[in-house]
Structure 1
Amino acid sequence: MRADSDEIAISNSATARSVVASPTSCAAIAGESEACTGKIVVIGAGTSGAVARRLAHLLSVCGTAAFYLNPSDGLHGSLGAVGTGDVVIAISKGGESTEINEFIRRATTRGASTVALTAVLDSELAECVNIAVRIDSASADPGNVIAMGSTLATSAWGDALAVALMRHRQYAWADVLYSHPGGAFGRHSEELLAGVGDPHREG
């Protein structure tokens, strides 16, 4: 049992590294997001919904206005929050979730740009967005059923996007800490700020 767990962990880590190391898709989405004149809306259902909420939070922390919207709620009126100038990022491993795909179609009609993070490029979702990114995680989930490693890979890709946008926008550490006055970060913000440099000055 231990050996199987180790193998899964190694596979998951390798998948995450390969996703982050692939600059093309991240650069394309970063360009789309940087040109966004509105906000970024991240959607997903089930486990992908948890990843979507995390990504929306990290984008906001890193200086890109974003929020999570449950796609089912969107089809009951919340879609009204999406419009021209917005970018919708949909996370769906299989790309065949009815509520996500309908949300994307209607968001497109309302003038939003759309992005899919999926494992299947010939899925319905991938075919109805402006940009589709394939996150290869076929061997990362036990039995290719339980969403474990695939969520790690998608999260790693989202982390890379958040940092890329932070640097493109020249969003400084002082800005990050100013918007995070709570908790240990807030209590020790001066010491933290003294220990870091502006992210856009780093190599």
Structure 2
Amino acid sequence: MPRFIAPVALAVAASLALAGCSSNPGNDSPSASEAQEPTAAPATGVTIEGSGYAFVAPEGWEVPADFSLPGADVIVADLTDSDGFADNVNVFLSPAGELTPERVESMGVVELEGAGATEVTVRERIAVSGSESPHISAGLSSNDADYLIEQYYVTQDGQTYVVTFSFSPTVSQPDRDELSESVLATWDWA
């Protein structure tokens, strides 16, 4: 089985560092209608249900058996990935509740770089099921494995969901964007 356990844990640890950043209710952010809509065709795999949301995984991806990631609400991976790293997506609920896009974009870069991430880039926001989601890309390394993340922060009813897609460095930016957006295009609130 391709490895993904340790690299996923570091990416999530970096995202959870944002827990100390509370939202600023008085800060007016643009509406989701101003964010870019996903342009990829919706994913067609199995439906994954989490705490208050559901999404469709990419075709062939599945929940790993006998594996848990402490604190993760959901983890789904391509267990047939042949390059030695199982591309995956995990979702964590922010312990701080709601995080504003501005807070994520300012503090997220600092937190990810503090966790050893490289090439941390704030990307264009994306609309996910009525939520304007910040998008941060970065490179990480853990246990001799280099990988890339596309991280989104989707908010609903006072809760931010940190959605992290982790990829082998062989996956191009356009392919990472397409796969991530194909899943986010299916995001639905339960």
Max Rg structure:
1
When the two structures are superposed, what TM-score results if normalisation uses the length of structure 2?
0.29
Higher relative contact order structure (alpha carbons within 8 Å, sequence separation ≥ 6): 2
Greater percentage in strand? 2
Greater percentage in helix? 1
When the two structures are superposed, what TM-score results if normalisation uses the length of structure 1?
0.27
